Amino acid sequence: MSANQLQTAVDTIAGECIAVRLRMLNRVVTNLYDDALRPFGLKISQMNILVAAAKMGTARPAEVCDHLHLDVSTLSRNVERMKARGWLEVVPDVDGRAQPFRLTAQGRRLLLKAAPGWEKAQQQAEIVLGDGIVNQLNQAIRRLNTVGHSR
Protein backbone atom coordinates (compact mmCIF):
# COMPACT_ATOMS: atom_id res chain seq x y z
CA MET A 1 0.00 0.00 0.00
CA SER A 2 2.86 2.29 0.71
CA ALA A 3 3.79 1.96 -2.94
CA ASN A 4 0.27 2.95 -3.89
CA GLN A 5 0.31 5.89 -1.53
CA LEU A 6 3.55 7.02 -3.08
CA GLN A 7 2.19 6.67 -6.58
CA THR A 8 -0.90 8.66 -5.67
CA ALA A 9 1.10 11.43 -4.04
CA VAL A 10 3.51 11.58 -6.94
CA ASP A 11 0.72 11.77 -9.49
CA THR A 12 -0.99 14.54 -7.55
CA ILE A 13 2.14 16.59 -7.19
CA ALA A 14 3.24 16.06 -10.77
CA GLY A 15 -0.23 16.91 -12.04
CA GLU A 16 -1.03 19.95 -9.93
CA CYS A 17 2.01 21.50 -8.25
CA ILE A 18 1.93 25.25 -8.69
CA ALA A 19 5.57 25.66 -7.73
CA VAL A 20 6.84 23.22 -10.35
CA ARG A 21 4.95 25.07 -13.05
CA LEU A 22 5.86 28.55 -11.93
CA ARG A 23 9.50 27.65 -11.51
CA MET A 24 9.61 26.09 -14.96
CA LEU A 25 8.06 29.13 -16.62
CA ASN A 26 10.38 31.32 -14.62
CA ARG A 27 13.43 29.47 -15.94
CA VAL A 28 12.28 29.64 -19.54
CA VAL A 29 11.29 33.30 -19.42
CA THR A 30 14.35 34.39 -17.48
CA ASN A 31 16.54 32.72 -20.11
CA LEU A 32 14.64 34.53 -22.84
CA TYR A 33 15.35 37.92 -21.30
CA ASP A 34 18.90 37.08 -20.26
CA ASP A 35 19.67 36.01 -23.84
CA ALA A 36 18.30 39.25 -25.25
CA LEU A 37 20.17 41.34 -22.68
CA ARG A 38 23.49 39.50 -22.86
CA PRO A 39 24.87 41.82 -25.57
CA PHE A 40 24.54 44.63 -23.03
CA GLY A 41 26.25 42.74 -20.22
CA LEU A 42 23.04 42.87 -18.25
CA LYS A 43 20.69 40.29 -16.72
CA ILE A 44 16.97 40.73 -16.25
CA SER A 45 17.33 40.44 -12.47
CA GLN A 46 19.65 43.43 -12.56
CA MET A 47 17.46 45.34 -14.97
CA ASN A 48 14.59 44.93 -12.51
CA ILE A 49 16.61 46.68 -9.88
CA LEU A 50 17.75 49.43 -12.22
CA VAL A 51 14.13 50.06 -13.19
CA ALA A 52 12.94 50.10 -9.61
CA ALA A 53 15.69 52.54 -8.68
CA ALA A 54 14.91 54.71 -11.69
CA LYS A 55 11.28 54.91 -10.69
CA MET A 56 12.04 55.68 -7.07
CA GLY A 57 14.77 58.23 -7.73
CA THR A 58 16.43 57.47 -4.44
CA ALA A 59 15.71 53.93 -3.37
CA ARG A 60 15.84 52.52 0.12
CA PRO A 61 16.81 48.83 0.06
CA ALA A 62 13.96 47.72 2.31
CA GLU A 63 11.49 49.57 0.14
CA VAL A 64 12.77 47.93 -3.03
CA CYS A 65 12.56 44.55 -1.32
CA ASP A 66 8.96 45.15 -0.31
CA HIS A 67 8.11 46.13 -3.83
CA LEU A 68 9.82 43.15 -5.44
CA HIS A 69 9.21 40.62 -2.65
CA LEU A 70 12.93 40.11 -2.46
CA ASP A 71 14.99 39.23 0.59
CA VAL A 72 17.10 42.15 1.81
CA SER A 73 20.24 40.07 1.84
CA THR A 74 19.71 39.18 -1.80
CA LEU A 75 19.30 42.79 -2.78
CA SER A 76 22.37 43.72 -0.77
CA ARG A 77 24.58 41.40 -2.84
CA ASN A 78 22.98 42.43 -6.13
CA VAL A 79 23.41 46.12 -5.42
CA GLU A 80 26.99 45.45 -4.42
CA ARG A 81 27.74 43.98 -7.86
CA MET A 82 25.96 46.80 -9.62
CA LYS A 83 27.82 49.44 -7.64
CA ALA A 84 31.07 47.73 -8.61
CA ARG A 85 30.05 48.06 -12.25
CA GLY A 86 29.30 51.75 -11.79
CA TRP A 87 25.56 51.51 -12.43
CA LEU A 88 24.44 52.44 -8.92
CA GLU A 89 25.76 54.75 -6.21
CA VAL A 90 24.93 55.19 -2.55
CA VAL A 91 23.38 58.46 -1.45
CA PRO A 92 24.36 59.88 1.95
CA ASP A 93 21.58 59.88 4.53
CA VAL A 94 21.02 61.41 7.95
CA ASP A 95 20.17 57.97 9.30
CA GLY A 96 23.51 56.24 9.68
CA ARG A 97 21.99 52.81 9.11
CA ALA A 98 20.43 53.64 5.77
CA GLN A 99 22.13 52.93 2.46
CA PRO A 100 19.80 54.50 -0.09
CA PHE A 101 21.03 54.24 -3.66
CA ARG A 102 20.26 55.66 -7.08
CA LEU A 103 21.24 55.25 -10.72
CA THR A 104 24.46 56.76 -11.94
CA ALA A 105 24.64 58.47 -15.32
CA GLN A 106 26.24 55.30 -16.59
CA GLY A 107 23.38 53.26 -15.18
CA ARG A 108 20.88 55.49 -16.98
CA ARG A 109 22.74 55.13 -20.25
CA LEU A 110 22.84 51.36 -19.88
CA LEU A 111 19.13 51.20 -19.22
CA LEU A 112 18.36 53.21 -22.33
CA LYS A 113 20.74 51.16 -24.45
CA ALA A 114 19.31 47.85 -23.22
CA ALA A 115 15.65 48.82 -23.63
CA PRO A 116 15.41 47.41 -27.19
CA GLY A 117 16.76 44.09 -25.91
CA TRP A 118 14.06 44.04 -23.28
CA GLU A 119 11.43 44.82 -25.91
CA LYS A 120 12.57 41.90 -28.03
CA ALA A 121 12.41 39.47 -25.10
CA GLN A 122 9.05 40.83 -24.02
CA GLN A 123 7.61 40.12 -27.47
CA GLN A 124 9.01 36.61 -27.45
CA ALA A 125 7.57 36.02 -23.99
CA GLU A 126 4.15 37.15 -25.14
CA ILE A 127 4.29 34.78 -28.06
CA VAL A 128 5.40 31.89 -25.91
CA LEU A 129 3.03 32.46 -23.01
CA GLY A 130 0.06 34.06 -24.70
CA ASP A 131 -1.25 37.61 -24.73
CA GLY A 132 -3.35 37.34 -21.61
CA ILE A 133 -0.36 36.49 -19.46
CA VAL A 134 0.43 40.01 -18.25
CA ASN A 135 -3.10 40.49 -16.98
CA GLN A 136 -3.12 37.07 -15.35
CA LEU A 137 0.16 37.78 -13.60
CA ASN A 138 -0.97 41.22 -12.52
CA GLN A 139 -4.11 39.73 -11.06
CA ALA A 140 -2.11 37.17 -9.10
CA ILE A 141 0.22 39.89 -7.82
CA ARG A 142 -2.64 42.14 -6.74
CA ARG A 143 -4.09 39.21 -4.91
CA LEU A 144 -0.73 38.46 -3.38
CA ASN A 145 -0.39 41.99 -2.06
CA THR A 146 -3.91 41.90 -0.69
CA VAL A 147 -3.98 38.53 1.04
CA GLY A 148 -1.20 39.63 3.31
CA HIS A 149 2.48 39.20 2.93
CA SER A 150 5.05 38.33 5.50
CA ARG A 151 8.35 38.76 3.72
Partner DNA sequence: TCGCTGTAATTGTATATGCAACTACCCTGA
Partner DNA sequence: TCAGGGTAGTTGCATATACAATTACAGCGA
Q: Which residues make beta-bridge pairs with 103?
A: 88
123 binds, among a second copy, DNA, none (CB under 5 to 8 A by kind): none
C-alpha Rg value of the chain to the nearest Å: 19
CB atoms within 10 A of CB 91: 14
* Minimum separation from the CB atom of position 95 to DNA (A): 5
Residue 18 in the binding site for a second copy (CB under 8 A): yes
| Residues in 63-102 at the binding interface with DNA, rule: CB under 7 A | 69-81, 94-100
Residue 60 in the binding site for DNA (CB under 7 A): yes
* CA distance linking residue 101 with residue 93, whole number of Å: 10
Q: Quick one: which of 60, 68, 83, 120 contacts a second copy (CB under 8 A)?
A: 68
Encode burial over 41-71: b for 16+ CB neighbours within 10 A, e otherwise: ebebebbbbbebbeebeebbbeebbeeeebe
| Residues in 17-36 at the binding interface with DNA, rule: CB under 7 A | 23, 27, 30-31, 34-35
Identify whether the C-beta of residue 50 lies closer than 8 Å to the C-beta of residue 111: yes
Contacts with a second copy, residue ranges (CB under 8 A): 2, 5-7, 9-11, 13-14, 16-33, 44-45, 47-48, 51-52, 54-55, 68-70, 108, 111-112, 115, 118, 121-122, 125-130, 133-134, 136-141, 143-144, 147, 149, 151
